[in-house]
Every structure is written in C-alpha cells, then in structure tokens.
Amino acid sequence: MADVFDGVRVAVTGGTSGLGFALVRELVQRGARVAFVARTRERVVQVAQENPGAHGIVGDVAAKNDIYPIAIQITGELGGLDVLINNASDLGPTPLAMLSDTECEDLERVFATNVIGPFRLTKALMGALAASAREGRGAVVLNISSDAAINAYPGWGAYGSSKAALHHLTHIWNEEHVNEGVHFLSLDPGDMDTPMHAAAMPAADPATLKRPEQAAHELLEAVAAQIERMAVPIGG
C-alpha cells in the first residue's frame, strides 16, 4: 500500500537543521514532494543535493519581503500545497536571559521568526491549502510548538511567549478554517538533541534527549492521521 505521503506536496521551513532537516529527509523517503526553506544558500544547496527531488528555497521567514518570494517558489515548484510545516524557530539570545534582562529588539526578532513569519507565510499560502482541501487532497498546517508554550520556565520568556502566541494562533485558525477543510495542528516535539537545544541548555546530556528523527517521525504520523481523516479519493 502506498505511503500516505506519497505524492503529497509539503513545505517545511527551517529545513536544513535539527528537526526540520529530519522532517525533510523522512518526507522525501516517504515519497512526498517537498520544498524546504532556510536562510543559508550553501546549506540549502547541500540539503537539496542530499535529498534528490526536494526543492531548496533560500529565504528568511522573519523578513517581510521574503514571504511572497518563498510562497511563490513553494506553490510554483510543487504546483500547489497540501501540508505546510512552520518549523523555523528563533530561540533568542543565549545564554538564556530573564525576561527583564531581554532586549526589546531580541524579543521582536524572536516574535518575527516564531509568530509573525508563520502568520505571514500561512496567510500567503491559505489559498493553495484551501484549494487542496476542496479537491479532496486534505490540507494541514503543522506549527511546531514547545512545552515552553504552556509552562512558564524562567529564562525561556522570549521563546516561550512566542510559542504560546503561535499555539493560540493555531487553534483560532483551526476554528476559523475548519469549514474550509484546512486543519491546523500545534504539536510539541519534546526535548530533542538539536543545535537549538544545545544552545539553550549546553549542560544537557544528549543521551537523555530525543533524536530529531524520532520526533520528526512522530509529528509526521500525526499529520498522516489528519490527512487520512480528511482526504477523499478523487471521484469518491
């Protein structure tokens, strides 16, 4: 039986590192048509070469003027979009600082990447996602969340509050677009052995952390379950 992701058009932001990289690799292996976005051209080229068929897009979701160029390359190269994974994240300055010690500009930058960027990109791609839903392919937006979105961890103020905003945005969006057939998920991948986690908690023992490949697989199973609930075979 074909994999549920076979032929599914998926875009992943922050696709060259950590969780995003693991998502891209598993999606390509499972037959998805993948476009991924990241800021560093050399790394984008390298990941595209390592994952034949994946489309690499250079862009920064935190930059307003990058959003439409990113969106048109995603829908242009894939011919539409079924799944958007807003994965790119900014932890803010490290070592992690108390909120009152956090510079306003740093907070703004974290929100630009973690909230406003996904908001802008999702908005620009809503038409493509809704079209996919109308055509019975299912449409899912997965926003990567964190337990810091729910729990008030000292030192995680900028990141945690931005993820809380994204989490709530996701739920409101889901309510508003459920009739359109576009579903929004906000999922916490858990503590992973990634560059971001190492920056936040340098003393953590990587052996105690989840592998990003494991987290990516769990997240994709959740997306797959949602697609299977929604998708109606063409003509069915």
Partner 1 sequence: MLAARLPVQRPVDAKLLVVDEKRNLIHVPRSAFVDFLRADDLVIANDAATLPASLTGTHEPTGKPIEVRLAGRPSLDPKDIKRFSAVAFGEGDFHMRTEDRPLPPPLHPTDTLVLGPLHATIETLLAHPRLVSLCFDGTADDVWSGLASHGKPIQYSHLQSSLELWDVWTKIAGPPVAFEPPSAGFVLDWHVLSAIREHKARFATITHAAGISSTGDDDLDRLLPFDEPYHIPTTTADAVEQTRQRGGRVIAVGTTVVRALEDAATDDGHLRSGDGVAHGRIGPATQLKVVDAILSGTHERGTTHYELLRAFLEDATLERATAELDARGYRTHEFGDSVLIL
Alpha carbons within 13 angstroms on the beta-carbon side of residue 182 total 24
Q: Considering only residues 22, 57, 224, 231, which one is a binding residue for partner 1 as defined by CB under 8 A?
A: 57
Could you say which of 7, 53, 76, 206 contacts partner 1 (CB under 8 A)? 76
The nearest distance, CB 128 to partner 1, in angstroms, is 4
Smallest gap from Cβ 11 to partner 1, in A, equals: 13
70 forms part of the interface with partner 1 (CB under 8 A):
yes
Amino acid (1-letter code) at residue 88? A
Q: Which of 161, 150, 164, 170 shows the shortest CA–CA distance to 226? A: 170
CA dist 66 and 52 (Å) reads 25
Which position has the token pair 């929004």? 184
Q: How many CA atoms lie within 13 A of 178 on its CB side?
A: 8
CB of 30 to partner 1, least distance (A): 20
In the list 29, 40, 50, 72, the residue contacting partner 1 (rule: CB under 8 A) is 72
Residue from 56, 117, 138, 212 binding partner 1 (CB under 8 A):
56
The set of residues, in sequence order, having a beta carbon less than 8 Å from that of 106 and lying 6+ positions away, is: 92, 93, 158
Extract the tokens encoding 68: 């439409």
Specify which residues 13 forms β-bridges with: 37
161 binds partner 1 (CB under 8 A): no
| Residue from the set 134, 168, 171, 211 that interacts with partner 1 by CB under 8 A | 134
Binding residue for partner 1, selected from 63, 97, 124, 201, defined by CB under 8 A: 124
- Pair of tokens at residue 229: 């609930």
Query: Considering the rule CB under 8 A, would residue 73 count as an interface residue with partner 1?
Result: yes
Is 197 a binder of partner 1 (CB under 8 A)? Answer: no
DSSP conformation class of 5: T
Residue ranges binding partner 1 (CB under 8 A) = 55-58, 68-73, 75-81, 124, 126-128, 130-131, 134-136, 176-177, 179-180, 234-235
